[in-house]
């Protein structure tokens, strides 16, 4: 599969991880920190991939990976900062976005998602059983960039609200487990054990 020239990948790892107590991007499930694992998952699907982070995290990232640090005007407003920064720097590109706290995702899940998401849609996202979008498992077209900027100018920072407002396409994966977000130490230990048992089969 040849990655489209205008599709960039964006791994979101700029959160505070307050419930986890440590940076979720540095947790290990598959022999390397999760932020690098997700980067590798997106690489075959995208023309270029970036790790999106805040200024504090930037210094700890290996030089082997491309990094986008949140621009100062977008600091401390949540994950929308990653997208606003990305579109500010690359306004003509589309972005495949993946959070670093979904350890059960595989490359095939993203392939299925991209094959079903309409190429002409403004945005599309994984959709869960609580009738909510997963804004950090999503595709945002270049058209979404200007709309997100309007969203920001109106002091609206919720990506969930943005996706609902534009009626983004919904993608329901075959296995809902891929949308499980690991946010606490207890969940991390459980996810590690489950992944380890599968890998040992």
Q: What is the rounded radius of gyration, in angstroms, for the C-alpha atoms of the chain?
A: 16
Measured at the CA of 115, the angle between CA 146 and CA 159, to 5 degrees, comes to 35
Q: Is 100 annotated as a binding residue?
A: no
Which among 105, 102, 83 has a CA at the least distance from the CA of 94?
Answer: 83
Phi, psi (degrees; rounded to nearest 5) at 135: -60, -20
> Going by C-beta distance under 8 Å and a sequence separation of 6 or more, which residues neighbour residue 157?
77, 78, 80, 151
Residue 88 DSSP SS3: helix
Q: Is 48 annotated as a binding residue?
A: no
Phi, psi (degrees; rounded to nearest 5) at 12: -85, 115
Q: Is 198 exposed, middle or buried (0-12, 13-18, 19+ CB in 10 A)?
A: exposed
Q: Is 101 annotated as a binding residue?
A: yes
Question: Residue 143 to residues 64, 78, 146, 148: CA-CA distances in angstroms?
Answer: 30, 21, 6, 9
Q: Is 40 annotated as a binding residue?
A: no
Please give the annotated binding residues for GTP, written as ranges. 12-14, 24, 70, 101
**Which amino acids are annotated as binding site for Mg(2+), given as ranges?**
101
Q: Which residues are documented as binding site?
A: 12-14, 24, 70, 101
């Amino acid at each position: 599969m040849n990655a489209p020239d205008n599709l960039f990948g964006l791994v979101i790892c700029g959160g505070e991880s307050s419930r986890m107590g440590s940076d979720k991007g540095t947790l290990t499930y598959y022999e390397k920190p999760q932020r690098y694992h997700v980067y590798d998952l997106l690489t075959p699907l995208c023309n270029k991939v970036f790790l999106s982070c805040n200024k504090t995290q930037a210094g700890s990232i290996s030089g082997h990976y491309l990094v986008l640090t949140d621009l100062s005007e977008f600091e401390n407003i949540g994950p929308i900062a990653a997208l606003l920064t990305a579109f500010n720097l690359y306004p003509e590109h589309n972005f495949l976005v993946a959070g670093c706290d979904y350890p059960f995702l595989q490359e095939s899940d993203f392939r299925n998602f991209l094959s079903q998401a309409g190429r002409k849609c403004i945005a599309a996202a994984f959709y869960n059983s609580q009738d909510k979008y997963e804004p950090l498992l999503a595709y945002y077209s270049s058209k979404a960039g200007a709309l997100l900027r309007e969203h920001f100018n109106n002091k609206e920072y919720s990506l969930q609200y943005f996706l609902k407002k534009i009626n983004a396409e919904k993608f329901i994966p075959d296995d809902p487990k891929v949308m499980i977000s690991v946010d606490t130490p207890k969940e991390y230990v459980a996810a590690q054990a489950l992944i380890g048992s599968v890998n040992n089969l």
